[in-house]
Structure 1
Amino acid sequence: MSTLYTDATLDALREPGDELADATVAALFEKGEVGKFNTLMRYVSTVGSPLPDGLPDVAREYLAATSAPPSWVDWAEMEKARLFFIDNNVHISTALSFASMPACYVVPHVAKLLSATHGLKYPSKRMAETGQFTVYLMQPGAFEAGSRFVPAAQKVRLLHASIRHHLRREGLWDTAALGTPICQEDMIGGQMFFSMLVLDSLHRLGIHMSQSGAESYYYAWRVVGAMLGVDQDAVPKTLEEARQFLDLYMIRHMGPSEEGVQLTRQLIDLYEEVVPGTFFDPIVSALIRHLVGDTSADWLGVPRTPWDTVVKAVPHLLGVLETIEDHSPLGAWALDRLGHLTTVLELSSLTRGRVMHYAIPEQLRGEYGVSDALPPHRRWTPPAPAL
């Protein structure tokens, strides 16, 4: 039976946070053990690693409770999602960078939270963490010994809890007006940005996707949401429900903000540094505008450029490349390798070659005081707008 989302059902999701992670973080701060936890957890980066001596008991209990994926995981679906990612990795990276992150910035209270967590001067850290997290998820054996995904998910969940802790403790957040920081509605909204909105963006770019591939990719992010503390009773189960939730969420919250403009400017500057030379710099702004639309782009201060028209030809170019891929095994291999190398090089430029460590911030920044098996012709098209 399909879930019907209304303002009332989403309002009810603005108060709950993540009970397990919130209790863990509160205990670590109360006992003054955050610094010790962060130091020791730098040595826990793969599944199956022995926990270091001296780890606080509350942290050890949390890590044990969150060490396994949900019992309902369909591993065949996860493998299909991984193949979908391999087939589309460069396009998914483009969508994450130029659609998902700007979508976060066009929700004013989310932009404020992102500013508080990593500062307006360091968007590369957020982008690197997001990119690295996705790459970890889509590796073979992401949940097996030696994998980096599960520890990353455990740490991200505590990072979110720490932001809630700081903003509440310091009285820097109007909970009555804005709800709990990183509440269930916003966590589900974020899940939609990195799943449904990515699929929308691939469609907008003219990427051929099967219904099965799109559903598998979305399913993988449902598993991610469960591991990040998202209430599975509230999360959309199908792409149709996801469309309904995402449309309503954006109508409820999207709008202009100073933080959104500043974060977007930093994002554009970051990627203009990644693109060699200066001739192609405007394509970054043009891609963002193409993927998020003119209204959101104007709210975010995305400049208009002559490339705005050129970018509209991207789907045609990608269609030519996909024709080569579909009809030439060698061409398919070359394009897949190019996609892999592009993703790795982009991630390397953001991380400066380092592994990103997720840690609980002891204070907030000063500004706030604290390949698919189905035939390619069976294409997926996004569910129609819900509203």
Structure 2
Amino acid sequence: MDLITAHQAAAITGARNWDAVAARHPERTASMAAGLMRGDRLADAVVAEYFDRHGTPDAMPWRDVVAALENRDSPTPLPPALTAFLDAVGTPPSWYDPALARAGAMAWWRFGSLQSSTLYQSLIYGYQARGFTRPLSATGRLTEGTWDRVQSTARWVALATAPECMEIGHPGWVQTLRIRLVHAMVRHHLVRQWWDTEQWGVPINQTYSQLTITAGFLALPLRIGHDFGLRYSAAEREAITHMWRWIGSVMGVDDDLLPRSFADAQDIDRVARAFQMEPDPDARTLVSALLDDGYRTEVPLPPLPPVVANAINGAVHTVTRPVLRTLFASVSTRWVDEDVASAMGLRATPLHNVVALARPLVRSREVLRALGVLGSDTRVAQRELRLVTSQLGIDLADPDAGRYGRVA
């Protein structure tokens, strides 16, 4: 069911001014409205097939379904829907250029530590949308496991954006498909149990996925980076866009919803930001949980026994958390509309100007990079990648780097 009225779209999304935005951007909003009623046909078929066969002699255990993502040449015959899924994901679209995606990854990781820190803003961006918060509320994951959710999502972003990791069969590609099937499983359970599709749209729908990839993980981090003083060339922006377009395609976002250029991504983001959102009441709870338990303050203490180091870091985190909570909450208001920020419990303070204080440091670092003092751009990106992945416990040399269980 793709047909949907403007009134339904406004109710599903919480956008108070849907009609006004639709009048200015009729084609874009029409595709967004239709996407609210669409899931992921291929992944949903895999999950439906799994439950249809469950308990029968030819049933395949779920662990084997997931394992097939890494071992597509298994001699064991695979069910039809899973075979169709693997055939589709193993055949990239005609527009995909692996070299351009790798160039985007190298540009992204040139300042990867800053880009990785924007994950918190990407999550807060998502929390303003009811389509994001309702599935979390339905699964009881509002305040539980926040740290694990942030860490697992950060690991996925690192794997998906690391150079070459998103190529077919590589860890980022495998992990992205794992998440895609998890989303399909969540969709299946919610719709079968109590989810009101007509009132709320399809859970984890195409429009939610489009905006998560294009606005939350692409446009927003680049806008934040620009605010900090980070500059990309036009070619680098196009390469980064291509990288995220490919990630979105593997994640199951319909091709017509993915950005074809950086200008297209900006337009999608601009339309999304034009909506006057009314967040679900659970959004405040999610933001509060993120600010309370979405980070850890850790000091490297390699010479000490783990028990002692953990105790010291626990004490440091307890002391610094109130200050950091206020800082993160204030800085986050720079990139969220004032009304939405207030609804989610965020309040601007003079601390949000810390971004302006950091800007000269970022620009100085970029000058040193341009002069070659920090080494080649490739060396810089590799160094940033090692820094972030080591903090996340990822060893990219390990063939099992993509095995992280629940992510996102």
2:384 is aligned with 1:339: yes
Q: Secondary structure at the match of 1:158?
A: helix
Cα 1:42/1:13, change in 2 over 3 Å: closer
**1:383 corresponding residue in structure 2:** none
* Cα deviation code 1:16-54 (max 9, x no counterpart): 2211111111111222279964333565675x5754858
TM-score by length of 2: 0.75
Alignment CA distance shift 1:170-1:118 (3 Å): closer
Partner letter of residue 76 of structure 1? A
Contact residue 195 and residue 221 of structure 1 kept, 8 A: yes
d(CA) in 2 for partners of 1:24, 1:33: 16
CA-to-partner distance for each residue in 1:118-143, whole Å, 9 max, x for gaps?
Answer: 71211233323332222222334335
Number of aligned positions between the proteins: 352
1:30 and 2:75 correspond = no
Among the aligned pairs, what percent are the same residue?
Answer: 24
- Paired amino acid for 1:151: V
| CA distance in 1 between partners of 2:261 and 2:295 (Å) | 36
CA RMSD of aligned residues (A): 3.3
Give the equivalent residue in structure 1 for 2:404.
356
**Is 1:40 aligned with 2:85?**
no
User: Which residue in the other structure is 1:203 paired with?
Assistant: 226
1:98–1:287 Cα contact (<8 Å) kept: no
Letter in 2 for 1:356: Y
How do 1:319-330 residues align onto structure 2 when only pairs under 5 Å count?
319-330=363-374
Inter-CA distance 53–205: structure 2 relative to 1 (3 Å threshold): same
Could you tell me which residue of structure 2 aligns to residue 257 of structure 1? 280
CA deviation vs aligned residue, 1:257-286 (integer Å, no higher than 9, x gap): 322112112221234423653445233223
Q: Aligned-pair distance for 1:237?
A: 1.6
Equivalent residue runs for 1:98-247 within 5 Å: 98-117=120-139, 119-120=141-142, 121-143=144-166, 147-172=170-195, 174-192=196-214, 193-247=216-270
Q: Which structure has the larger Rg?
A: 2
Moved more, 337-346 or 6-15: 337-346
3-state SS of 1:357 partner? coil
Once the two structures are TM-superposed, the CA of residue 326 in structure 1 deviates from its matched residue by 2.3
How far, CA to CA, are the matches of 1:126 and 1:69 in structure 2?
A: 29
State the 1:337 CA deviation.
6.5
Q: Hey, what's the Cα distance between the residues in 1 that align with 2:98 and 2:289?
A: 38
Superposed, 1:365-384 pairs within 5 Å as none
CA contact (8 A) 1:108 1:254 kept: no
Counterpart residue type for residue 257 of structure 2:
A
What letter is aligned with 1:186?
Y
- TM-score, length of structure 1 as denominator length: 0.78
Q: Measure the CA separation in 2 of the matches of 1:359 and 1:328.
A: 37
Higher RCO (CA-CA < 8 Å; seq separation 6+): 1
SS class of match (2:95): coil
Structure 1 SS opposite 2:203: coil
SS at match of 1:11: helix
Question: Is residue 107–residue 254 contact of structure 1 (8 Å, CA) maintained in 2?
Answer: yes
- Using a 3 Å threshold, how does the CA distance of structure 1 residues 246 and 178 change in structure 2: closer, same or farther? farther
Q: Is the 8 A contact 1:324 1:332 kept in 2?
A: no
Q: In the superposition, relative to structure 1, how do residues 66 and 42 fare at CA in structure 2: closer, same or farther (>3 Å)?
A: closer
Q: Of residues 36, 42, 49 in structure 2, which corresponds to 1:20?
A: 42
Gaps of 5+ in 2: 1-24, 300-315, 395-400
- Could you tell me whether the CA contact under 8 Å between 1:44 and 1:151 is conserved in 2? no
Structure 1 ranges of 4+ moved more than 6 A: 331-335
